[in-house]
Amino acid sequence: MTPADRARVTAALVAVGLAVSAPVATAQSAEAEALFREGRRLLKDGELAAGCAKLEASDALEPSVGTLLNLGDCRERQGKLASAWAAFEKAEALARRTGADEQRQAEARRRAALLEPRLSTLTLRVTAPVEGLVIRRDALRIEQGAWDTPVPVDAGTYTIVAEAPGHRPWRSEIQVLQEMRRVVVVPALAPVERVATAPVSSAGTTAPVRSSPRLAVISTPASPGTWTGTRVVAAGVGLLGAGAVGTGIYFGVRARDLADASDARCPLITCADDEALRLNERARDAATRANVLYAAGGAALAASLVLWLVGAPEPRTVVTPVTSDRAAGISVAGRF
């Protein structure tokens, strides 16, 4: 082989080696590219919500550094700082992994660093974890590893739900403001009361209980008794009414005595005795007071009676199942 031939072979091998070692650049898919362009157009037109949605859809189809940078910028303009920070962080990681765009990697790192001090965080502090406990923020399930940890979130209103088998669920609606460090304490969940049931035989009927007679008592809230709150008020109104009627009787008797004294001094229809006229005027005043007190007292007594009847305690029925080795039944006791 001539020196010229050896040179040509060597050049060919070097070219093949470079072709094999060079990284393969993949172009963005047509659908992802179309969504990216539509999102950029909407942003230029000032339609932030629609533009962010298009960029997010493009990133879901095929992540790219350019799409993530634009998405982060869009979320920041919306005031969703945590979402923007997450997009910039993802863009930096993608650029570092591919190693093809140091400039955009540096830009993503710079934008994420500027947002980090302004982020709002939400800490879900679990005080009494139980088996099977599930905590959600809106529709997002918060894994156990994220409990008791400040997690960046966008400012807004969230619904926190805690659920566990055999326990009553807990729910709370909270609000997170910009640059807020919010801590939400998830309390201990209350257990659900279990109701004991009688065993059922394979035939679908209640299995007989082969034991000495026993009682199964169903507890009910205690009866309020005769003196309910309404009846206490009725008694007070009745006492006021009785007092008004008693005072009215006093003024009625006083009016009669004054009238008798006036008639004794001046029995005629026409009277020029000043003292008799004064006694007659006082008798009229006493009679007027008596009439007013009679009316008020009678109304109060009537109202007291109505309140007493309306405030009667609610009827209560207690059902007590009774079982033995020979029979089964129920005992019903009521208060009406």
- pLDDT at residue 93, rounded to an integer: 93
Q: Which two tokens stand for residue 335?
A: 């208060």
Q: Which residue has the higher pLDDT, 173 or 27?
A: 173
Same domain, residue pair 242 and 221: no
- List, edge to edge, every strand of the sheet that includes 151-153: 151-153, 120-126, 181-186
Closest CA to 112 of 145, 68, 144, 142: 68
How many structural domains are present in the chain?
4
Same domain, residue pair 220 and 319: yes
Q: CB atoms < 10 A from the CB of 62, how many?
A: 16
Is 90 exceeded by the pLDDT of residue 76?
yes
Q: Check if the beta carbon of residue 126 is closer than 8 Å to that of residue 135.
A: yes
Asked if the structure places residue 12 within a domain, the reply is no
- Please give the single-letter amino acid code of residue 266: C
Q: Check if the beta carbon of residue 36 is closer than 8 Å to that of residue 23.
A: no
Average pLDDT over residues 74-81: 93
- pLDDT at residue 265, rounded to an integer: 77
Asked if the structure places residue 196 within a domain, the reply is no
Asked if the structure places residue 104 within a domain, the reply is yes
Please report which residue ranges of 22-64 form alpha helices under DSSP H: 30-44, 48-61
- pLDDT at residue 233, rounded to an integer: 86
The residue among 75, 95, 118 that closes a domain is: 118
Distance, in Å, from the CA atom of 24 to the CA atom of 82, rounded to the nearest integer, reads 33
Q: Which two tokens stand for residue 60?
A: 């879901």
Q: CB atoms < 10 A from the CB of 281, how many?
A: 12
Same domain, residue pair 48 and 126: no
Q: Which of 127-131, 136-140, 223-227, 318-322 has the lowest mean pLDDT?
A: 318-322
Of these ranges, 108-117, 193-202, 220-229, 294-303, the one predicted with the greatest mean pLDDT is: 108-117
| In the chain, % of residues over pLDDT 70 | 74
The residue among 118, 148, 169 that closes a domain is: 118
Distance, in Å, from the CA atom of 210 to the CA atom of 161, rounded to the nearest integer, reads 46
Q: Which residue has the higher pLDDT, 265 or 322?
A: 265
Same domain, residue pair 264 and 239: yes
Asked if the structure places residue 206 within a domain, the reply is no
Asked if the structure places residue 242 within a domain, the reply is yes
Same domain, residue pair 320 and 249: no
Asked if the structure places residue 13 within a domain, the reply is no
- pLDDT at residue 199, rounded to an integer: 58
Is 50 exceeded by the pLDDT of residue 182?
yes
Q: Which residue has the higher pLDDT, 266 or 18?
A: 266
Q: Which two tokens stand for residue 18?
A: 């470079």
Q: Check if the beta carbon of residue 103 is closer than 8 Å to that of residue 65.
A: no
Same domain, residue pair 57 and 165: no
Asked if the structure places residue 63 within a domain, the reply is yes
Is 70 exceeded by the pLDDT of residue 61?
yes
Same domain, residue pair 109 and 53: yes
Q: Which pairing describes strands 120-126 and 151-153: parallel, antiparallel, or unpaired? A: antiparallel
Average pLDDT over residues 42-49: 92
Asked if the structure places residue 298 within a domain, the reply is yes
The residue among 118, 137, 168 that closes a domain is: 118
Is 50 exceeded by the pLDDT of residue 282?
yes
Task: State the Cα torsion 68-70-75-77 to the nearest 10°.
Answer: 160
- pLDDT at residue 23, rounded to an integer: 33
DSSP readout, 55-111?
A: HHHHHHHS--HHHHHHHHHHHHHHT-HHHHHHHHHHHHHHHHHH-S-HHHHHHHHHH
Beta bridge partners of residue 160, listed in sequence order: 137, 172
CATH number at residue 92: 1.25.40.10
Distance, in Å, from the CA atom of 219 to the CA atom of 320, rounded to the nearest integer, reads 9
Average pLDDT over residues 154-161: 95
- pLDDT at residue 305, rounded to an integer: 86
Distance, in Å, from the CA atom of 331 to the CA atom of 195, rounded to the nearest integer, reads 19
Taking all residues of the chain, what is their mean pLDDT, rounded to a whole number?
A: 78
Same domain, residue pair 169 and 221: no
Same domain, residue pair 95 and 125: no
Q: Which residue has the higher pLDDT, 160 or 197?
A: 160
| Residue 252 binned pLDDT confidence (cut-offs 50, 70, 90) | confident
Identify the domain containing residue 126 by its residue range.
120-186
Beta bridge partners of residue 120, listed in sequence order: 153
Same domain, residue pair 39 and 107: yes
* Cα four-point dihedral sign 125, 128, 132, 138: negative
Is 50 exceeded by the pLDDT of residue 6?
no
Q: Which pairing describes strands 181-186 and 316-323: parallel, antiparallel, or unpaired? A: unpaired
Same domain, residue pair 76 and 152: no
Same domain, residue pair 168 and 93: no
